[in-house]
Structure 1
């Protein structure tokens, strides 16, 4: 049978494809790998089983397949072609080199963080498809592929195509009684019952089944025959998820498994937002980035930002200005068809943003805000200009095929929507950095920016011609965005492989420093991270002295190790922010440190972020913290609330708001803010902040339990000492507070340099033990005490 089928399929495909091997299949199809001769790439050819092909309308099938083929999103494996030859219906898709989720599950259970990351990728795919009227109808581990750092969904719309093509013109179905298009173990009750009103929420039920299997090792009602599965899905409640699953995540999974579609999340977009708010890995990535060190990764890596409803402002009537020399670099579309390597397009977008940011006199909106337009299928440049307050939009696409890269770019005026410039570059992958510099020069010409010889040199710095080193670097950046201790160490290993291949790769050296900064004050003591930060950043600066990120990380590493005075630290930070005027997070963090010497200057630097990244909540939150230290509490509260409105799943925003509300003696409101912060993954600040609020509300025993919990955790992991000190003070334990501050200072915590600015520690001033902490962090006897 297989040999005959293969012969018939090869005859139908003709010379365009050469069948190479069979991957297997089962159920609805046979699966082959074929070589697409024209493009020299591997594709997957799926041949429908004879049972499904029987009675199938080729025209209806082709029409439905065309709808599926229109889906172009990073987490969806697209359909390339479809046809019927010699009675054999088939369709082709890109070949994704990796395991299916089913194969991965056979190796053993996944960590919760990895499970959530996969679920988020699938939810993104479903959100994109559902919003375009396409329902999958057969979500299961077999149709989720893992390649690189991405999960991608295959066979999108195929079940619908089969269902539609088996319906006669009079509306009567040709599908035999007892035949279901879908998989019983993952089938929603309404789908199992054959309800014609079944809609996109059946996919959410199926994803709930997949989530249940990822977290327990078995799908709901596993081990039962098909007829019993149908009955169970319609009438039984699955067993509760194990205690090790975070409660918000467990509740969300069980909500997806509700029998009534109206009680499930009502859209994949809603489900994705709920996943972002869980307390596991991917959801924590944004939430826990509140510390100086943890947020530092955003400097180089960017990330995705939710579309905010309004821009944040610090004074009534103030807003970013839009002029001809301001632009946004929108995410480059991945046109390669290889959805598993979408990180390549994302990486090039960030690099191109960095390059055009070097143009003198040009304001470039940060990647966090520009990423808000990632999944928009059609873009009106005028709308983008109004939202981001820019005069120009740079957008385009990237296609990678083997060793060749094709980049298309265009610059559009947001005032009238006219095209200012466009070009297409097809080069060897080794020339990608040169292409980015060429695009930057073209943008400069279109904006009438005059470049000197030094400017041209700056545009070409930082990159590599080693394509393998570049690939390792981009893979490392993708790992770094996961923000778990394991993924950060994986990222460091990848960056180190990149610089081993090309020791002159400045951006990779800088990325090593950023990754260690992420580990410091979150997963490891800052002093442990400091040596690595200094070494990597120094190598980066030796190659490219203009890298503001590397300059900042080196100075911060020196501060962790107490090898730099506060005055010299502030001077280095000023140089870093001057070198990177378009880096919103660097400006926010830089302003934070400049506060140590000059409050007004620190606030001014931090508030530059409103022009650079107006839609990024994580960026908006840091100036709120700066305003709090500067004594502008009302402005700080307003900015923190606006940060939450922009991006509600970021823990720093809720933690900052809670801190400010404590300053205003609104303890009940502060407790609610800290609880929301902890729910989205903000660990030490929000947990200890809850304890402080509870103590001030007179709920002493609850506050003591919070303290005991954190002290127990401190025996096995690094716990941020400054907030433990605040909790001890709230419980009346002055000795405990001073001991925790001393412990934090010894560990190298950068925050201990701010004890003079923090009103919570006013009661400790003058105590010899407090003065010892000040001396240890370089404040005592230094004019940089925050008084000016």
Structure 2
């Protein structure tokens, strides 16, 4: 059971008896997609209500992780929410606060919670509608999802307000953001009453037009122009779902019948599959695995032709997924694939597109004597580029070889350098999968999410040096925790690293770890790393980072220019390598190149708009280039979280560019008082001291210095 107590600001001026009556009125709702209210009461005058415990997560938590949901998942959730609303409205209960936070996901189903709470708060409070709307935290709904009639405080707002909120919810699930984005509350409230949201069809051209139109009808300002009831809304969603389930198979049957009747089964079968059925949008994590080509006389090898599809597919789990093997076989056979003949590469690519797979896996099985060689080539459906992995061993070790091949393919799929495949070959798939997930998260600036995956990879192999290096860098970027946790692992497994990886490791920790060398010595080791591995973004980043932070202390007058060159080389080697990309806006601006500074900030946003990189890029673009809307969005995002990493990024940027001091001081001051740990609070004081000193605010610097000395002692001088 969940016991919910109203916060003091919510229960002020509230009639407890009326609150209990309204809550218990909503308790009549019994439906598979509604979390029921069990009881309501008060304890020493503080109202409470109880609900059953639901195992799972909220839709908000899933959106924070995933940002945009797959279309089928979004439709499934929306259909069940609409079903819940239809039932509640039939019984005279309007929710008034439909939003991702009030939708729970459990065992594959959506459940709406807190039915009747918003109305109970309103009906049981003394004061006017305007008072209720303007009281902090006690509006009749949540700003991003409020219907215009709720914003205007209309007392006759009815069930159609829920349909508007449903439209806001659907818009966010399908596009990644609410209709009016993440802007200050007052602007959102005004937009709900006056502005038309951008058409969903233009933002998400890949979704069915009928669905986009339905969502926009829900968002009509006038209630009469929305769907009449939630039951009507549910019916339209069911029709869309039914069309998705049957429309494609109907087209397939019709085309296949036409092909057969023309007597051109094989040739036209290929053209049927190629023509018209491919989707322009693809899932970046979906792989289409086609039957492998086989060379060699051994019958055992030929049994692997289609068998490899099942063997390989079973190993792909987690972020990388494969198209259902049975669906692949049907498509492949219809397009002309047989036991003895393969489809051409163009047709194979069309099959992948048909299933919306961004990657196509083509493979070969070859035998010579008692040795078998497995080769897998991952072809990017959009760009046409190919990355290849090969394993070899005895014929009786095929299952082990498949594990090794899939491990390498997983690494390639995640963007790992092909030169690292040899050092990854002895890892279990489970261990490698954790490492790959950590790398993907870290590259996008999701450092907090990456850390547990690095630790899981190290738990699977305590000498996993690459995972140790990743953890060391990630914890360093977070500016929290034990920096040596990862470096100890990396150093312990250094002999298993390639020459390039070993050079990069030494560029960070030196050659006598755990004794740390001077920064000038680390710069020399980084310069050596780029000579040994000029293709490695990690090597150029190590050099650039040393010059960015410590070049001036080493007496290098041209450190900013040299740092920019190193980061640019890292970026040229790998444009998705966010570590290097984050420093580019500052450096370009410091060197007077505002055009490239703007482009670099936009690139950070493109990497992942909701990550650390994206939030910093949004703040930089809004602050430096005086884009008030972007600045407001960035600060609104930072108001929702207390982030040490982004706050220190902004502080560093302010020190380098001279822009944004006020924001940096505000965010750091919040950390000083609201940081989760003593370490976070002390680091915030450290940066606040630097900012105050740089601005000549000596009184503030002295106060911060006194507090920092108590917490950190002489460590406050680190990096000054």
Structure 2 length-normalised TM: 0.46
Larger Rg: 2
- The structure whose RCO (Cα within 8 Å, separation 6+) is larger is 1
